[in-house]
Amino acid sequence: MERGRAELLAGGTGRLGSAGPARRLPLSESRERRGCVEGREGHSTYSYYSTMSADPGVPTFSSMRLLAIALAGLALVSCGSDDSGEPAARGPDPYLDGGREEFEQFVASQDKPVVVNKWASWCGPCRFEFPFFESQAKKRRGEVVFIGVNSDDNRDDARDFLADHPVPYKHFEDPKQDIAASFNGVQGFPVTAYYGADGEREFVHYGAYASEQKLAEDIDRYAR
């Protein structure tokens, strides 16, 4: 396990001034986005019918084909809906509305220390440290406020990643890194910024944390 994490860290986060070359990782750990029909076909049993029928009471190929088309139409109508007929819900929206101004207002209005984690779904080191932030946010609930900044990412990939790896705090979408620029976090991925209870930025950490203990030490040191 530790070897696997070390390899992720060694992969680098190079983008916009970080140390290594930029590379996007496949979403092999994320939920695959399959089409409605494909998902249903994955659980279907297929039968093959002859085009000829010696018995007048046996359905011909044409009638069976019409039946198959009708059943497929019903499947498409029901896909994506629950029993009530309403569209299937994705759960609570993990994002807050707004950009840089709203982010700065959010930090200033907390009256508590704030830990900001800039991440992207394609970033291997971001994925590596994500469980550390989830754990620390749960342990420090009510004492420290956590907020994510999802920068330079594909919206669907990011939402799929959050659906598979939920954390107990919200995120701001930051497609052009305007929010990241507010805490000098454009240089690479991931980046963690610490704000005191007075709203003043105390420290910015560049790169992934090697362990939850290292993250906890910085929270104790700077998020006061």
Known catalytic residues? 123, 126
CB 170 within 8 A of CB 147: yes
How would DSSP label each residue in the chain? -HHHHHHHHHT---SSS-SS---PPP-TTSPP---HHHHHHTT-------S--SSTTSPPHHHHHHHHHHHHHHHHHHTTB-TTSSBPP--S--EES--HHHHHHHHHTSSS-EEEEEE-TT-HHHHHHHHHHHHHHHHTTTTSEEEEEEES--HHHHHHHHHHS--SS-EEEETTSHHHHHTT--SSSSEEEEE-TTS-EEEEEES--SSHHHHHHHHHHH--
